[in-house]
Amino acid sequence: MASHALLKRVSAAAARCSSSSSSSSSSSASCFSTSAHRLYAAGVAPVAQDAITWTQAPPSQPATLHLKTGQKFPGRSFGAPRSIFGETVFTTSITSYTESLTDPSYQGQLLAFTQPMMGNYGVPDNFSGRSPAGHPKDVDVGAFLESNRLQAAGIIVSNLSERFSHYEARESLSTWAARHNVPGISGIDTRALTTLLRDQGSTLGAIVVGEGHDQTPSPDAFVDPMAENLIARVSTSQPYTIHPVGGASAARVHIALLDFGCKANILRSLLRCGASVTVLPWNYDFNRVRDAFDGLFLSNGPGSPYSIPEAIATVKKTIEEWRRPIFGICMGNQIIGIAAGLKAYRMKFGNRGHNQPVVALASVGNSVRAGRVYITSQNHGYALEYNHGVRPGEEGSWPKGWIPWFVNANDGSIEGIKSTPDSGKAVWAAQFHPEHSGGPEDCAGMFEDYVAQVEHAKQSRRVESGSNHASLAETVPAELLGEAPRGQPSDVLAALA
């Protein structure tokens, strides 16, 4: 009977939401339950009569997406009612819009989703309860999202779902975007937009909201975010250390991570493998403290790798002088490649989506086998290239001591590099995202392979030195052992009221 009563209350609340949204065509209603929705999923009836509560997203307004090349796409606004400029790109991801929008690699970009409907399962609470790794979510950088704020500059969708349904949902896509002061536009032909971007390449654009939205901005108003150091915006400003279940004493290894805009699931993946991780700012002088760590990890990040020459110089010195395992992902792959002697180029429209096939050219650990195809999650606008003027496979096409690890099965671009066994180095790098979130988990085992390699190297050093490995407190500078920050976005809705 209790569950029947709850069902009636949920149905009545949904009817109120439907009535509210249909009574005002300019309103993007955000309907969610803070407690009854979760209880209904668990089959438990709420006690309080006011268990179901609703919030209202900012009213929708006429809006237009303008491209610097002259095309315009009219629609309706959602999220924050303000205008924004950025680089217009598209993703072919079918699900996981919450993970994509919180990925720091999308900083400065107007992200268009090719999937027609967005927002139908709402947005979860990233910091409540416990994460899948078993950590409190404020220590484990959250359980669901890839950072503590919405990173994309703007959101472009065909059909915005005003209602949502998911037992973990906390708020609507529109309300969430408004809280983070990020504008969105819906009701446009994203198929036509994607075809255009595919043909002419990623294009500078602007989402203009409200009065004068149909007036094209002047060409000088379009600013290329890739010309900026976007990594400085998203990297941690202070070092901090996080530990796996059981604390520092239970850690298999201690890894330093240079944060170029690290996705949270990279940290979760390392924690689940039993590693303690010290996260360092993008421009930290790692070589000053490198011998305190068992390995180095280079994260993903937004923009151009050439915007951070300091990091390239640091990594180049590390690779040349240090013999402990190094792993890089996305931006980390590009930094390692440039440090090794390759060049990076800006792709026409990049690879963004959760369905990109890559072919492994070399086997590593238990997770990667040469000749196999892996379906991967990707988000990048730059890639490494073979030495200019030299065909792949010819002498001089690749720096000595390095080999290509993966290639993209669609466009042939380099998707990873690794050091050769005779180089004396232990360096891997992947352009795609083995940590997924969202996307396929084909290559998730690369994290365990990396941590196992770091652990093996650590044990080898113990044998060679004839002594036990010192504790974290004895080896790592105290300023690097701070607690992880638990940032929360400001409530922009209050400012808009």
> H helices within 2-83, ranges in order?
2-23, 36-42
Q: In 3D, which of 75, 79, 34, 73 has the Cα closest to residue 52?
A: 34
Instruction: Answer yes or no: 166 catalytic.
Output: no
Gap between the Cα atoms of 142 and 189, Å rounded = 34
Determine what percent of the chain falls in helix, strand and coil, rounding each to the nearest 5: 30, 25, 45
Active-site annotation holder among 135, 435, 443, 455: 435
Tokens of 198: 């595919």
Cα 309 to the chain's mean position, in Å?
22
Q: How far apart are the first and last CA of the chain?
A: 40
The amino acid occupying position 42 is A
Stretch (H or E) spanning 101: helix 97-101
**Could you give the CA distance from residue 158 to residue 113 in angstroms, rounded to a whole number?**
8
Q: Kindly give the residue spans of alpha helices, DSSP state H, lying in 225-330.
A: 231-234, 264-272, 309-321
**Which of 99, 433, 443, 455 is an active site residue?**
433
- Residue 106 three-state SS: helix
CA separation for the pair 312, 310 (Å, rounded)? 5
Hey, what are 266's tokens?
């990279």
Q: Give the number of residues written for the chain.
A: 497
Q: Which alpha helices (DSSP H) does 106-158 contain, by range?
A: none
Neighbouring C-beta atoms of residue 250, cutoff 10 Å: 11
Helix (H) or strand (E) holding 139: none
Question: How would DSSP label each residue in 162-203?
Answer: SS---TTEEE-HHHHHHHTT-EEEESS-HHHHHHHHHHH-SE
- Residue 56: in which H helix or E strand, if any? strand 55-56
In terms of Cα–Cα distance, which of 439, 257, 459, 480 is closest to 357? 439
Give Cα separations from 181 to 48, 99, 187, 235 (angstroms). Answer: 33, 17, 20, 20
Q: Which of 330, 354, 380, 415 is catalytic?
A: 330
By annotation, the residues acting in catalysis are 330, 433, 435
